[in-house]
A and B are shown apart, each in its own frame.
Chain A
Amino acid sequence: MFAPLALQGRLAVAALVAVLLVLPLVWHDTYVLHLIILSMVFGAFAVAWNFTTGYAGLKTFGHHAFFGIGAYFSALISKNFEITPWLTTPAAGLVAAAAGLVVALPVLRIRSVPHVAMVTLGFAEIVRVLLTVFRETTRGEMGLWGIPAYDGFTIPGLGEVVFNAAEKVPYYYLAAFLFLGSVYAVVRMVKSPVGLALVAIRDSQDAAESLGINLTRYKLLAFATSAFLVGLLGAFYAHYILLLTPSSVLGLDLMILVIGMTLIGGVGTLFGPILGAFVMTIGVEAMRGIGEYRMLIYGALIVAVVMFMPRGLVALLDGLGPRFGFGRGVRMATADDAKTG
C-alpha cells in the first residue's frame, strides 16, 4: 500500500473517479443520487476515522463528536448570524480540529485501547448531552431546523447552480469534492514522512520512539487532521439534510455505523472504508424491505466480519487480480495492544 500503486491500480482508481463524476449526468434519479451522496459522506468519514485508528493506532470511538460539532457549529453560526455556509463550513472544520486537539491531548497519555475508547466516547457523550441541555439555542431533541442551504451561484456557460432539496446534482458534486478531497488528503498524509512515521508507530511504539520520532506531534497532527475532515463533513451534512438532532449526528449509533463500515470494508486499508461505506449505505437501503430486521442483520454482519473476515471485503479484491494495489500488508495488532491497562 505504501509502494506506488501498480498501473492497474492507478487505472482502476481513475476509472472509479470518472464513473463517480459522470454518474449524475446520466442517471437523474434523485433517490439514487441521495444514496451516493450519503455514501460519500460516510465513506469520507470512515476514511478519516480509519486514518487515526488503522494508521495512527489511536483507536478512538468518539469521532462522531467532531461530526456533530461541525454540523452544529456551521448550522448555528450560519443560521443565527446570517453568515454564508460557504464560510461556516470550513470554519466548522477548524473548530472540530481544535476540539480534536483537546481530546487528543489526554488520549495520547494513555496506551490502553479500552481507556482510549472510553475517553473518546465519553467526550462525544458530553458534547451530545450539552447540545441537548442548551435547548434554547439548539432546540435539543426537538430538532434544529431552518438551517440555510448553500448559496447558489452562476457558472458562466453552464448556468445557475442552486442548492435545494429537490436539486441533488450540486450537492452531489460538492459531496464528491469533499469525498475525493478527504481521500486525497489522507493518501498524501499516509505517503508523507508523517505517514511513514505513523506506520512505525502502529507497528511498534517502542521502535518508533527509539528512532527518535516525535510521536506526540505526529499523533496530534493525525488526530486533528482527521477531526478537521470529519467536521467539514458534518457541516456539509447539516446544510444538506437541513435538520439536526443531537442523537442523529452525535448518537453512538452514528459512530457504530462508521466503525461497522470500516470493519466490513477492511480496517487499516485505504480502500476498505470507502467500499464498506458504499456497500453498507446502499445495502442497508436495499434491505429496507425487511424493515426492522436490517439493523439486526447489520449487527450480526459486524460480528461475522470480525470473526471470519478480519481483513474485510477488500481481502476479496486482493484475490481478484494481480496487484490491484489496495489494501495489503495490514496488521491491526500493535505492540501496545498487548495487555496494558
Chain B
Amino acid sequence: MTLTLFLEQLVNGIILGSMYAIMGAGLALIYGTMRILNFAHGEFYMLGGFFVFFLFAQHHIHPVPAVIIAVAAVALIAALVQRLTINVLLKREGWAFSTIAATLGVSIFLQNLALALWGERFQSVPYFVEGLLQVGEFRLPWQRVLIFGVAVGVMATMAVVLRWTRFGWAVRATAQDAEAAAVVGVPAARIHTITFALGAALAAVAAALLAPVFAVNPWMGLPLIIKAFVVVVLGGLGSFPGAIVGGFLLGIVEAIGITLTSSEWRDVIAFGMMILFLWVRPWGLFGVKER
C-alpha cells in the first residue's frame, strides 16, 4: 500500500466519520434530553434520502433548496411522531422500554411505507457537484469535500446554538434536570418535541449528503443507526460533543482497520470497538459516570 492510498483511506474515514458524528449527535441529543433510545433514527435518515431523491433526482430541483426542504420535511414528520407517541409514553411508567418499543414500531412502519411508496430498488442520486480535487497524486471528489464541509458547518452551528442561545440553554437544562427546568419556566414537552425533530433533522442532513454516495432504498437506515449506536456508546450516551468525537474516531478506526484487513471487516471492527468500550468505559469518552 502506498502512502497516498493510505492517506486517501484516512481522509475517506474522516469524511465518513463526519457522517457518523452527525447521526450520533442527533441520537445523543434525543437521548440526552429525553433519555430515550430512538430506534426510528435510521428511518428518519432514510426518509431524508428519499426526499432528496424525489426533489433533486426526480424533479430536478436545485440541490440547496432540495436538501433544505427534505430536512425540514423530516423534522416535521419527526415532531409529529414525537407528539403522538413519545410525548405520551414519557408520562407513563416503564417509559424506558415502551419508548424503545414504540420507536421500533415506527421504524417498521416508515420502512414499509417507503417500500410501498418507492419500491425496493436502489435509487441513485447524482452528485451535487462534479469533479475531483487533486493535490499531487492525492484525489478527492468534490462531493466528499462538500459532505465534510456541510457536516462541520452543521455541527458547529448546533454547538453554538446549544452553548449560547436561550433554546440551547433550555435543551441543556431539560436534559440535566427536567423538573428543575420546568420550575424555572422551561416547557419541557415542547423542548422534547423540538429536540426530537432537530435530532431527526441531523439524520436527514447526513442522508441528503450521502444519498449520492450510497444510493437510496427503504433499508438504508439500518446500517447507519447501528453505527450511530456505536458512536454514542463511544462518546457517552447523550453527550453531544462525545458523539462528534466518537463519530470521527469510529470513521478513522474503521478506515485504518479496513486497510489492514478488508472492507468486509468494517462492521466487525465497529462493533468490536463498541463492546470493548462497554467493558472498559461504559459511560463513554464524555459521558458522566452514573450509578
A contact residues vs B (CB 8 Å cutoff): 53, 59, 61, 106, 109-115, 117-119, 121-123, 125-126, 129-130, 132-133, 252, 256, 259-260, 263, 292-293, 295-296, 298-303, 306-307, 310, 331-334, 337, 339-341
Contact = CB atoms under 8 A, between A and B. Distances in A.
11 contacts: A53-B97, A59-B100, A117-B37, A118-B274, A256-B107, A296-B112, A299-B110, A303-B85, A332-B97, A333-B94, A340-B291
B195 to A, nearest CB: 16
A53 B100 CA distance: 13
B282 A296 contact: no
B35 A306 contact: no
Nearest to A337: B96
B185 to A, nearest CB: 21
Contact of B105 (A106, A252, A300): A300
Name which of B222, B230, B267 has the most chain A CB atoms within 10 A of its CB: B267
Contact of A303 (B96, B105, B229, B279): B105
Given A119-B278, A122-B271, A129-B267, A341 B92 contact: no
A303 B106 contact: yes
A302 B104 contact: yes
Contact of B115 (A118, A252, A292): A292
Given A119-B278, A340-B291, 4 more contacts: A113-B97, A122-B275, A302-B102, A306-B105
B116 A296 contact: yes
B132 to A, nearest CB: 32
Given A115-B278, A119-B278, A123-B275, A302 B105 contact: yes
Nearest to B229: A118
B237 interface: yes
Contacts of A293: 112, 116
A136 to B, nearest CB: 12
Contacts of B137: none
B226 interface: yes
B126 to A, nearest CB: 28
Contact of A113 (B96, B105, B264): B96
A117 B275 CA distance: 12
B290 A340 contact: yes
Contact of A106 (B92, B94, B279): B279
Interface residues of B, number: 50
Contacts of A133: 264-265, 268
A55 to B, nearest CB: 13
B275 A119 contact: yes
B93 A332 contact: yes
Contacts of A130: 268
B237 A303 contact: no
A43 B22 CA distance: 39
Interface in B103-137: 104-113, 115-116
Nearest to B177: A339
A331 B98 CA distance: 12
B256 to A, nearest CB: 18
A311 to B, nearest CB: 11
B218 to A, nearest CB: 10
A252 B271 CA distance: 15
A256 B268 contact: no
Contact of B109 (A109, A117, A125, A296): A296
Nearest to B116: A292
B272 interface: yes
A252 B109 contact: no
Contacts of A129: 264, 267-268, 271
A337 B95 contact: yes
Interface string B237-259: 11000000000000000000000
A331 to B, nearest CB: 7
B105 A341 contact: no
Given A114-B96, A122-B275, A307-B89, A259 B101 contact: yes
- Ranked nearest first, the 8 interchain pairs of A and B with the lowest CB-CB distance are A299-B109, A302-B105, A299-B108, A333-B93, A332-B94, A303-B105, A333-B94, A114-B37
